[in-house]
Structure 1
Amino acid sequence: MTGPAPAQEWWSAAELAEAGLPDLPGTKRKVNDLAVREGWARHPGKVRRRKGVGGGVEYHWSILPLRARMRLSAGLVAAPADKPGTGEAWERYAAAGDKARAEAEARLGAIAEVELLEGAGLTRSAAVREVARKLGRSDKSLWNYLGQVEGVARADRLAYLIDGRALRRSPGQRNDIDPEFLSLVRSDWLRLSQPSLTSCYDRAERVWISERRNSAVPPLHQVRRWLKANVSAPTEIFMRKGAEALRRFYPAQVRSKAFMVPLECVVGDFHKFDNFVRWPGYGKPVRPQMMAWSDVYSGKLLAWRLSPTANSHTAQLVTGDLIRKWGIPQSVLMDNGKEFAAKAMTGGDKGRNTFKVTDEDIPGLLPLLGVDIHWATPYSGQSKPIERAFRDLCDRVAKHPAFDGAYTGNKPEAKPEDYGTRAIPLEEFRLVLEDELAHHNARPGRRSEVAMGRSFNEVFNEGYAKATIKRATDEQLRLWLLRAEGVRAKTGNGALKLYDTEYWSEWMYRIAGEKVVARFDADDLTAGLEVYDLAGHYLGHAECREAAPFFDVDAARDHNRKRKAWIRAQRDEAKAAREFSAAEVAARVRAASGLAADEPLPEAQVHQLATPHKAAPKRRRAPSVEEIEHLAEIEARVLRLEEHRTNPVDPVEEDPAAVFARACALERARDEGEALTQAQADWLADYQQSSDYRAQLRMARRFGAPE
C-alpha cells in the first residue's frame, strides 16, 4: 500500500530532482537515466507528454521507488508553488550560483527589449518574435519569462527570473540519509591522526551492516558532500590538524609602514644557513648562524655577524655595530629567546619571559639607551619581517654555486645526493655572504608599500637623510663590548693577557699587579681592550701587541722606534716632575739649618806641608808622547769594535764597499790577536762566503785595498 495520492500526481524530472525524494538522484539528467534503466516508459498510463513551455515528459508518482512514494503520500513534499513571495524570491536569488544569476540578467534584458518594442508600436506577439529571433531564443521561452514577472514590481523582476532548476536542494541538506550514520563517519573522520574519508566510510558501513540497521547506506560521494556542507573549515582544521594550524588559518594582521621612518624600529633574529662550514677551533663542520638587524621601514639589512651558535654575546656585538654605524633605534622587535632575553641585553624590561624578572636586575644595554623593546611571537614568521629576508638568503646564499657540495637541505628528509661531501672555509663563506647581502640591499624592483619598485638602499637613504638620528657617546659604544671580569695586570709593566694575546699601552704601568675589568670584541681581538677598574671607572685603551715573526726586521725596528719614543717621553715627563735640582734642594736645606751656602771660609795665617806616609802612593810621572799615541790607537780600535757590536752590518742597506771595508777591519783585528764577539765572528764568516766578498777581494788585490 502506498497510501493516499499526493496533491501533485505528475512530476517532471527537474521537479523530482528538486524535491529531494529518497532513492532518487539530485539532478534532472540522473533522474532521466534512472527512468530509462528501470523502464518507466513501459508502464502504460504512467508517462505523458508535459504541457506548457519547454515540453518534455512527466512521470506519475506511483512508478517512483517505494520510499519516494511513501514520502509523497505522507504529504511531506509540497508541490511547487506558482509564484513565491518577494522575500522568498530574493532568498532564492541569493542561494543561486553565478551562472543562474547571469541567466536571470539575460532574461531581464530580453523582457526589457520586448517592452521597448511594444512602446514603439509593435504588438506584444510581434515584439516577442523579433526579440526571440535577435537573441536566438524560442518564442515560448520569452512568453515564459513574461509570465514569471507578470504582476511583479519592476525592481523585483530579477529575483523571479531565477531558473528553478538551479535551486534544487543541496546534497548536503538531503534528509533521506540517516543522521546517525553520518555522525558515525564524522566522529571517526575528525581526529588528529587524519584518517581518510574512505577508511572512515568503510568502518561505518561495517558497523551499520553488523547492527542490521533498516536504513540504507548512502553512497560515499553523498557522504563527502554532506561533510563539506555541514563541517566548517575551522572545525576540520582544529579537529584534524590542531590548535596551531587553526591559529595560522586566521589571517595575519595587516600593518602599514607608510608612516614610519628609518630606525624607528629594527627587527633582529638568528638564521642558521643550510651549509657546512669549517669553523676554526671546531673539529667537525658546522652550520653557521647569522645574527642580523633589519630596518622595518625599508627592509634594509643594517648589521650582521656570523657565529657557530646562537648566543647573547653575538647579539650584543651586532647591536653595537648597528648603533656605531647607523645610530640608536627608537625601538627593537625580537622574540623572547634566550639570546635576546639575557640580562646583559634586556635586563630590567618587564616583558621578558625567559629569565626571572626581579626588581634588583641591573638595567640591560637596550633599556640603558632608552630603546623600547617589543617582543614578537617565537617561531612566527608573520610577526618578524626579517624572516622574509632570511627566506631570500636561503635561495641566494645557501644554494650559491660557490657552495656546491656543502648544501645540507632545509630539512632532514630533503638532503641532496652530495650531502656532506664538502665544507666551505669560513673566510670564503664570509666573502660570498657579504657580496650577496650587498646585492640584497641594492636589488631594485622591491614591491613593498614604501619601496614601489626601488631598492632597500634607496628607500633607507631617502628616509635616513630626513630622519632625526640619535647618536651614541664613546662610553655608550663601549658598553656593547663583552666583559672579562678580574683580569690581573702584570706586576712589572701592567700588561694584560687575554686569550693568549697581550695588550699594553703606555699608561698601564699604573695598574701593575691590580685586577681590572676588560671589555673586548670577540670577533676582533686585535682592536684592543677597553679597561675599567673594579668600581666601573674607565681607565683607558690597551693596544694589542701581536707577536712578530722571529726574523722580522721591520717589526723589530718598529718596536725599537716605539720603545725609544716611549723612553724619551717618560724621560721628559720625569724631568718635568723635578721642579728643583739637587743643588737647589741642598741649598734650601742648608738655609733651613742656619748655614749660608756661600759663606766665605776664614783665611789661615800659618800654612805647613804635610809629610807623606811611606805607604802613600807615589806621584806618577807624565806619559810620554809615544805612550799617548799608543793609548789613542787602542781607544780608536775599541771604539771601532764597539761600533761593530752596537751597529750590526746590514748588507742590504749599506754600500758594498763600506761593508767590505768593515770586514777588512774585523780581519785585521782578528789577525792582531783581538777577540771578536760571537755576532761579529758569525757575520764575518757568513760574509766571506758571499759572492760580494769575493768580488770586492779581487778588486782590492788588483786596485788596492780600501782605506
Structure 2
Amino acid sequence: MKLWFTAQEIGDLALPGLPATKRNVNVFAAVSGWAGRPGLSRPHRGPGGGVEYHLDLLPPDARRAYVERLMPDAVPEAVAEAAEAEPAAAHLRDDAAEARDARLAILAAADRIFASAKLPRLNADLLAVADFTAGRLSLPAWVHTAVPKLTLRTLQRWRAAARDGRTAALGVDRGASRRGLGVLDTAEDGQVRVYGLALIARQPHLSADHVREMLCARFGESLTVIKAGGVVKTVPMPPIRTVQDALRRWKTTEKVALAAITNPDAYKSRYKLAGNNAAGYVSRLNEVWQIDASPMDALCVDGRHSVYLALDIWSRRVVVYVSKTPRAEAVGLLLRRAILAWGVPERIKTDNGSDFTAKASQRLLASLGIAHELSPAFTPEDKGHVERAIGTFQRDLGPILPGFVGHSVADRKVIEARRAFSARINDHDDAKAFCVELSGHDLQEYCDAWAENRYQHRKHAGLRERADLAIRTPFGAAAAFTGAIQRIEDVRALDLLLAPVAGKDGIRTVGKQGIRIERSFYLAPQVMPDTQVFVRMDPSDLGRAYLFALDGGEYLVEAICPEILGVDPVEAVALAKDARKALIDSRTAAIRREAKAIRPRDFADTILGRAAAASSKVVAFPRPSAVHTTPEIEAAGHAARRTNPRPARFGADSAAMLAQIEAEIVAPAALPRPKVTELRPVDPKLERFRRALDIQRRLKAGAEVAAQEAFWLGSYAEGHEYKAMAGFVEDFGEEALG
C-alpha cells in the first residue's frame, strides 16, 4: 500500500475532507502545519521535486476512505499496523512496501479460506493457491500486479515470516541488488563518487548540470569502470538525468556525513552520538549544578529580558532568574536564590560566557568554596541537561505569556502575519503587535510559578530509571534525599559576598587621605598607609565600605565617607588623625626602645669582628707548583752564587752591632717570646678522619680493635664528611692533611 503522496496525488484521490487540486492541497498542508511534523514529510524522490506527505497526516475520514478504496478487507487493520510498527519497515521503499502488503493480502485471503472451508491447513493453502492462479480470489488488481504467480511453498514461507514478526522480509526491492553499482558510483575506482560528494559538501546548491560539468573537467568525457568478471571498460560520461538521480540518492544515503561537513550544528543536534546516562556519575543532591542563560521568548514593557536558569543534575529541579542584560551580577543573584532555596553546591558547570568567567563570578564561587567547571567552547552538548531545561522552559511557558515573539524568526513571522495587512503597514509598534503587557517583575513571578508549581511536579524522563525514587519528579527526587545539605546560616554574610566591589577589581591602596572610591575618600585610620586592600561596598549605604585583606580571607575594618554619611568632615578627619597617630605609636614604640640601645660604634665593631672570625677559619688548599726559569734568570742566579764574594768591611760601630746580632742568634732562648696566634687551629673534622684512618690501618694489619671503635668507624664511614675527606686524600695525597 502506498504511504507517501505528493500534493498532486492527494488531490487526484479526491478524498473526503481534502481539496481536489494541487494548489489547494499545498495551502491546506501549510495551514495544518504538515511540514513541521517530524518524520511525516520528506522531499519527493521522483521527478519534479516537491514534498511528500505520509498517510498518517491525512484527516481520519480521508485516511479511512483511502484504505477502504484500495484495500477493501485485503489486509486486516491489525496486521497492517503491526507490519508498519516493525523497525525494518521504516527503511522500505514504496515499491517494496507495496509488495509486502500484497503478500499480506494473499495470506489474509488464505486464512479466510481456512476459516470458512473447515479444511486442514495444507488443503486450505492448496485451494488458495489454485484460486489465486485462476483469479477467483477477491483481491485488488494491484495485488496481482505485485505478485504475478504463487506456489504452495512460497505461501508457507510467507506465513512463517509473518508469524515470526518479519513482515518486512516480504517486501521485495527489485533494484536493491543493483543500487549503488551504477557508473557514477563505481567509475574510476570510486573517485567519481567521492568527487561528486565533495562538490555537494562544498556547495550544496549546485545543479546536476553544474556537477556534470565539474566531473567532465576532472575526469574527461569518458570514464573507466570494472564490469562483472573484472573486465575493464570505457564508457561515456552519463547524461544529466543520471547525474540527477545519483545526486538525489547520495544526499539520502550520505546525509549524515554531508551534515557533519556542511552543517556541524545540525549534525550535533540530530546525529552526533549522545549518551542516555550522562548524569550517571552524579550520586547526591547538590553535587553538580549546571547554569546557562538565554534571551526570553517574550517581550516586556521595558524591553526583552534574559533568563538565567540553574539546574541540579541529581534532582533536575530548576531556579530561574530574570535579568535585563546578561552580566556577572545576574549570576550572583541567581546563585543567591538557588543557595537560599537548595543549599550550597559542590560544583557548578557553565559555558565560557563573559558573565560566568568574569572576575566577580570567579571571586564569588571561590569565596563560597564552590568548584567551577567550564565546558569546552562550542560544545553545548557538554551541559545538555540545562540546555534541554531551557528549551522546555521556553516552549512550555513562552507561548502562554503576553508578549510572546516565538522561538525563531519563522515563528515571529507567523505571529506578525495574524494581523491584517493594513495594520502591519501602518503600525510598527511591537507592543501592540505582540500584546506586550508584562514588566520584568511580572515575568519573574511567572517564571517562579512555573518552576515551583508546574515543572518540579511533572514526571521527568531523566528520572525514569532511578530505582531509588518512588515519585519520579524533581520535587520527589529532592524530597527523597536523606543526606546532609550544606547551608549558609548568615544571610547577611552571603549578601556581603554578593555586594559590588570598588571599581573593576575591588583593589585599592590606603593613602594619606584614606581610600579613594568614585571621587570620594573613605577614612580607614586603622590600616597602615600604602597597604593594598580588597574593598566591598555596602549595598544599603554608599557611605560605608568594608575592607578585607588582599585575598579576601580576612576582614580588616569598616571605612566611612563623611560627606556621604552626613558627618562633620573636620571632626571626622581629626578623629582619624588621632587614630592613625595611636596606630603608628603602638607599632613603633618597641622599635624606638631598641634603637636607643644601639651605639654608633656597634655597627663597625660587630660587622668587622664577625668578618675576622670567619676569615680565620678559611685555609687555602696546597696547589701543585712548577719551577719557572729563563736564561736571564739562570745568569742572574749564577752571578748571585759566585764563589769568591768580596768580603764586607764594617766600621767599629757596625762590627759591634753585628756581634750583638750573632750573639742573639746563638742564644735565642734569652729573648722574650712574642704572643703568637696559631694560624691553623686543630680541626675536629680532620681529627675524626685521622682517627678513622688509624683504625683502618690497624684492621688491615690484623691488630686488635675495640668493638666501640669498630662501630664508630662503620657509622662514620657512611657519612658525607668521611666521603669528602677520602676524596680529598685521593686527589692530593695524605700529605695534604698537614
Q: TM tier, shorter chain?
A: 0.3 to 0.5
TM-score scaled by length of structure 2: 0.42
Task: Judging by fraction of residues, say which structure has more helix.
Answer: 2
TM-score of the aligned structures, taking structure 1 as reference length = 0.44
